[in-house]
Each structure stands twice: as structure tokens, then as C-alpha cells.
Structure 1
Amino acid sequence: MFRQLYNWVMSLAARKSAEVWLAVIAFVESSVFLIPADVLFVPMALSKPERAYRYALIATVASVLGGIAGWALGYFAYETVAKPILSFYGKLDAFEHMKSYVDDRWILILLMTSGLAHLPPIKIVTILSGVVHMSLPLFILSAVIARGARFYVLAFLIAKYGEPIREFIERRLSQLFAAVAVVAVGAYVGLKLVVLH
């Protein structure tokens, strides 16, 4: 099922309505959907590198709006809507555990790691942000920075290098973003330990 869904999302890149679909996928990825918008963004930008930054803007705006929807689900409808969604994806137990110890500072770190490297999936963090009643303006600012950074880095690489960069993007970029995210979390934890001592 996942492979069929993945292939369907990739097929949307060839449609005339691809930009609309990019906005839709980026929106729902941030609140309820399984497939990341990159799957659609990358082939679209590779086929029209001159539009890469336009696609990055569309994906960023839609992703942030979807994040706000996820935040609202967590804030206003956790029991009735968000919980069944998390349960459907098999993430409810992990979510409940995470919910018990996070605060706004951890949410900021998680927004960065999920925005850059999909660790954890962005929908988990947006819903969690609402559940813990994170400030909406702070949430929006953080989401714009994290999601914008990912899409604009992708746009820059594609606009500059085109098709030869595809393999790097598909195989190595997520690892690079994940490494940056791990370093950021490590720095935060280290700083916290130094301050506590």
C-alpha cells in the first residue's frame, strides 16, 4: 500500500495541476498524511529547475498552513480526531510517551529535526505542539524556518546542479539533514547539562 501511495504521489508531478497537488500534499503531510512532499517536489523541480524556488515557496506556505491545522488538531480535538489519526499510523503509544516529558524548548528542537529531516514525522510534532499548548506565533515562526530551510535547500541544489544532483538528494540529503538535526539536539542537551551544573 505504501509503495502504491508513493508512486501515485510521484505521478502527480507530470500533471498540469502539479502545483496544486504540491500544495495539497505539503499541507496534509504536516497534519495527517504519510508521504513527504519531497516526493512530489523533487521531480517537479528537476523537470523545471527555473521554477524550483517558486515550488519551494508553495511547499513551505502549504506545509506551514498544514502545520497550523495539525497544531489545531492537537489543541482543540486531540481526543476526538488526533488520537484516532495517531492510532491509525501506529504512533499513539510513542506519542503518549513523548507528550509526558516535552516542553516548548523540546518542541522547538523537534520542529527543527522533523522539518529538516522528518525525524520524527512532522505531523507528530505539529499535533504535539497543539497538545502541549505551544504558543501559536512561536510555532508558526519555527515551522517557517524549519520547513523553509528544507525546501529552499532542495530548490537551490536543483536550480544549481539539475539532474546530476538527484541521486545525492534521494540518498544522501536526508542523512545530511539528519546529521545536522542530531548535532543540534546534542548541542541543546549539552548546553542544558552545562547550565544545570
Structure 2
Amino acid sequence: MKIFAPLYERAMRWARHRHAPWYLGGMSFAESSFFPIPPDVMLAPMCLAQPQRAWRFAWITTIASVLGGLLGYVIGAYAFGLIEPWLQTQPRYWAGYQQALEWFDRWGVLAVFVAGFSPIPYKVFTVAAGVLSMALLPFVAASVVGRGARFFLVAALMRWGGARMEAQLHRHIDRLGWITVALVLAGGLMYALR
């Protein structure tokens, strides 16, 4: 059953849309403070669809993500009491928040750099940095380096793959999609059985 190929084609059309960079910036900003979907899901197809603009897209994602991180920092510094009850009802985010606090205690500002590549959502680190009143300049510098490294890596891989990778993905997207679904289901089953 071919359900992933039409979705892939639609995503690539959206990635070429003239307003796509604005959407990418908005998504990157929101993800760093409250939105659950990482900007990589938009950055990768955009870089694949327009490899000549990959570095521009990586800059947009990085800058917007750091600005969104500042909003997360402000939320942590001034509004954590309002979101803490909700956060405690979200096991994934609460565990991530506790882990972020531990990493800050152990590594200081380097935790923000590591957050760019960690499975713990970056927004958790931005809020935790605000709660801990981390010095703002080191927070911003570590965010630029950590997030930038991640997004430029994604852009570089997509730029390198370019049209060849897009054609290969298009050819095998349904098979890859079903493999991904099977892996997610197997992971969920293993988690439920443990």
C-alpha cells in the first residue's frame, strides 16, 4: 500500500513553497520554547528540495531556534510556577527537566551545547536555564554553537545528497515508511512489556 509516497511528494512541494523559509523560522522559534515537533522535519526536505539554499535554511533555523530559546529562558525565569503543575503531569518532559537540571549541575553551560544533540527536547533545557538563572550570554553562545552544529549538519547531509538522494528516497519511501512504522511499533511493544 503506497501511502508514504503521496505524503513525501506533498512535503517536497511544501519545501519548495516561496513562504517555506518563514514557516521554517516560525517552527524553529516555537520548538525551542513550547512546540513539540523539531524543525529538522522541515529543514531536511527544504535542503533536499533546494540544496543551493541549504546554508541559508540552516542559518534561519539556528537564529530562530536561539530566539525561541530565549523565550523558553524567560518562561523558566518568570513563569515556571504557572507551567510546573502541567509539566509534572507530562512524564517525558518532567523526566527530561530533571535530567536537564542534573546536567546543568554537572556540566554547567555545556549542557546547553549538548542539548542540541540530546534526545531530551531543547525546550526543556531553555526553561531549565531560566529557572536556574543561568548567565544569559553563555546560554546564548552555547545555544548558537549547539543548535547551529545540529542544523548545519542536517543541511550539509541534505545538500550533499541533493537530487540523487531525493530520487532514491522517492523510489523507496513507502518501504522506508513501513519499516519505520514497524520499528516504532516494536519499540512500543518492548517498552510496554518491560
State the TM-score, normalizing by the size of structure 2.
0.70
Residue of structure 2 equivalent to 1:184: none
Residue of structure 2 equivalent to 1:137: 137
Residue of structure 2 equivalent to 1:113: 114
Letter paired with 1:153? L
Residue pair 1:113, 1:119 contacting (<8 A) in 2 also: no
- 1:158 corresponds to 2:158: yes
**Sequence identity, in percent?**
35
Q: Any gaps of 5 or more consecutive residues in structure 2?
A: 1-6, 170-175, 177-194
Letter paired with 2:54? A
Q: Per-residue deviation at 1:150?
A: 1.0
Q: Output one character per residue of 1:58-92: Cα deviation in whole Å (capped at 9) or x when no partner.
A: 00000000001101110111011x32563464345
Higher mean C-alpha displacement, 122-131 vs 97-106: 97-106
RMSD of aligned residue pairs (Cα, Å):
2.9
Equivalent residue for 2:54, pick from 52, 64, 84: 52
Q: Output one character per residue of 1:107-151: Cα deviation in whole Å (capped at 9) or x when no partner.
A: 434322321x24211011110111111101000000000011111
Residue of structure 2 equivalent to 1:94: 95
By relative contact order (CA 8 Å, sep 6+), the higher-ranking structure is 2
Residue of structure 2 equivalent to 1:36: 38
Residue of structure 1 equivalent to 2:184: none
Q: Distance in 2 between matches of 1:110 and 1:18?
A: 31
Instruction: Evaluate the alpha carbon distance shift between residue 91 and residue 158 of structure 1 in structure 2; reply closer, same or farther with a 3 A threshold.
Output: closer
Q: Distance in 2 between matches of 1:36 and 1:113?
A: 16
Residue pair 2:29, 2:68 contacting (<8 A) in 1 also: yes
Instruction: Evaluate the alpha carbon distance shift between residue 13 and residue 147 of structure 1 in structure 2; reply closer, same or farther with a 3 A threshold.
Output: same
Instruction: Evaluate the alpha carbon distance shift between residue 106 and residue 86 of structure 1 in structure 2; reply closer, same or farther with a 3 A threshold.
Output: farther
Residue of structure 1 equivalent to 2:27: 25
Q: Distance in 2 between matches of 1:25 and 1:104?
A: 30
Q: Per-residue deviation at 1:156?
A: 2.0
Aligned residues: 160
State the TM-score, normalizing by the size of structure 1.
0.69
Q: Distance in 1 between matches of 2:46 and 2:100?
A: 36
Q: Distance in 2 between matches of 1:104 and 1:69?
A: 22
Q: Output one character per residue of 1:18-44: Cα deviation in whole Å (capped at 9) or x when no partner.
A: 111000110011110111100000111
Which stretches of structure 1, 4 residues or more, deviate above 3 A after TM superposition? 87-93, 95-105, 163-168
